[in-house]
Structure formats: structure tokens, C-alpha cells
Amino acid sequence: MSSGVSFDLGPALLFCPADRPDRFAKALDRADGVILDLEDAVAPANKPAARAALAEHPLDPARVVVRVNPPSTPDFAADLAALAATPYRRIMVAKADAALPAVPGFEVIALCETAAGVLDARDLAARPEVIALMWGAEDLVASLGGTSSRVRAGGYRDVARHARTSVLLAAGAAGVAAIDAVHLAIDDLDGLREEAEDAVASGFAATACIHPSHVAVIRDAYRPTPDEVAAARRLLSAATTGGAVFQHEGRMVDGPVLRHAESVLRRAAPR
């Protein structure tokens, strides 16, 4: 988590189609937070029913985010109107960029998934209603006219890696949380684990996912091991007598290293 960021959802955020209310409770039970999706996961003809389902099948609003359609579409206003009949006040805005209109009464997770959105990430993060930024790879590449965010070996192409880094830095500079993108290969748990471990080591507050089997992998990646917790405690204990810069277990320690240890203990604390 970025220094100074308070984000009470995560680390595993599970997407659930908003037109599948039969899955709502199951999704919330399995994950740390659920993202009820009114955008890509719902066919245009099903969007009215999906909006109605939000009010008809309520969940704990403290653990729910609703992904709404892009502001450039008529569905955006319809989504916000439907949310007025629900307790949900935390939204994820698809394809957000600097043209995002004011959304009074809502906390916003800005989804930077277009070229414009990535370039506008810093301005979005500075808005008072924005509590987090998330990035998206596939829509980004589509906005550039590309065909795939990944190389054949499975890793991200440079343009996707640049977008991921840009969004993380913009969030950190503004003191808001950053959420890592979904891993689309459902059965590639090893690849997911590697990306989630990199996400937490880099400073992401959470990782989104599209399948329940991904939740445990993400949680494990974000949860420090007992050895890591013990080492962090020893280091912070030594800091009380070690001075500004000191040696500890064969390593030079200064302020940033101490903050790393503090981050480990924050992630180890029960939510």
C-alpha cells in the first residue's frame, strides 16, 4: 500500500456481473470485496435488469464497489440514477479520463484503461472524490489499435507495463490507493501469483480478479510470511537503539528500510 493510503477493501477484489444476482452473496463471501459490474460483463440488453438487481439483492455496502459504464455513454447517467435507490456509494468508473464529470455523493475508483486515462491518471488521482486508481490492460491496448497486452511468453508488453507503472506512481503521488489489473488466464495460477507478489512489493493496495479461484492466490501473495513478520519486528525493535542509520543482521538500515518493515506489519494485521 502506498505510504499514507488508507484503503479498507482488499487485497482480493472479485468482479461479479451485475445481472447475475444469484452470484452476489457467493462472490462477497469468497472475496475481500466485490465489484458488481454494470459495464463489460453485462450485455446491453441486460443492463436495465442488472441495475434493478442492485436494489433488489442488497449486500453489505462497506464491501461493495459498483463498476459503472463510461461517462461518454448514456448508460453512465442511468447507472448513477439506479444507484440512488441502493446503499452503494463507492463506484468504479470505466474508461475514466480528465473529462470525468462531477459525481456528488460517491467515492470514485478511477479505472485508467485508455491512452487518455493513463495520461490523465495524475489529474484523476488529485480529485477529492477519487479514493483509488486502477489500470486495465486490454481496453488500453484496444484504445491504441493493438491486439494483445501480452507477449507469447505471458508477460505484459512494454506499453502495458508503462501504463501500470504510471498509474501506480500517480496514485502514490496523490496519496490514494492503486489497484492492479485482473489476470485473464483463469488457470494460470502461477502467473497470477507472480504478478500479485510483484504488485504488493511495488506498492499496490489490492488486485482485482475475475474468478473465485484467484482470491486465495492473491491473499497469499499479499500476506507476509511468519518469517517476514518476525524479521520486520526484529528490525523495528533494533531501530529504537540503532540511531538514524545503523547495521542490522548484516544490512544497512535507514528510514526507507524501516518504512518497508512497517508496511509488512500493516499487511500482517487482521482486517
Query: Which residues sit in the known binding site for Mg(2+)?
Result: 113, 139
Looking only at the bridges linking them, the beta strands covering 246-248 and 251-253 are: antiparallel
Cis peptide before 256 (omega within 30 of 0): no
As a whole number of angstroms, the distance between CA 82 and CA 105 comes to: 14
Question: Residues marked as binding?
Answer: 67, 113, 139
For residue 62 the three cell numbers come to 462497506
As a whole number of angstroms, the distance between CA 232 and CA 259 comes to: 10
Of 3, 11, 7, nearest to 199 (Cα)? 11
Asked if 176 and 203 count as a contact pair (C-beta separation under 8 A), the reply is no
Asked if 130 and 90 count as a contact pair (C-beta separation under 8 A), the reply is no
CA–CA distance from 89 to each of 78, 84, 101, 151, 248 (Å)?
15, 9, 16, 38, 46
